[in-house]
């Protein structure tokens, strides 16, 4: 399986996707990053709708970091 790259961000915005695929993609992104943080922007208890923003930096210097983990895009 490949490392998460800048080209894989297009996959995250593709709709629709299953929750399982989204979970695997985001987990792969986080695993291939050197730092990450998340911010909950909104959460509606009546509808269950939410918005979460992820912020991080991909590890571009260590080619083996994260290799072999996560989904193949």
Q: What is the pLDDT along the chain (73 residues), one digit of tens a residue?
A: 578 888 888 888 876 778 898 898 899 999 999 999 999 999 999 999 999 999 999 988 875 555 444 444 4
What's the pLDDT score for residue 63? 59
What's the pLDDT score for residue 69? 45
Residue 53 and residue 38 in contact, taking contact as beta carbons nearer than 8 Å:
yes
**Is 35 in a helix, a strand, or coil?**
strand
Record the tokens describing residue 26, joined without a space. Answer: 């985001």
What's the pLDDT score for residue 72? 42
Record the tokens describing residue 67, joined without a space. Answer: 């290799």
pTM of the model: 0.72
Residue 73: exposure state from Cβ atoms within 10 A (0-12, 13-18, ≥19): middle
């Amino acid at each position: 399986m490949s490392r998460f790259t800048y080209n894989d961000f297009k996959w995250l915005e593709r709709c629709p996707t299953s929750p399982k695929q989204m979970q695997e993609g985001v987990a792969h992104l986080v695993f291939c990053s050197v730092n990450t943080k998340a911010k909950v922007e909104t959460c509606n208890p009546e509808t269950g709708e939410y918005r979460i923003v992820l912020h991080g930096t991909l590890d571009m210097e260590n080619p083996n970091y994260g290799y072999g983990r996560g989904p193949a895009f």
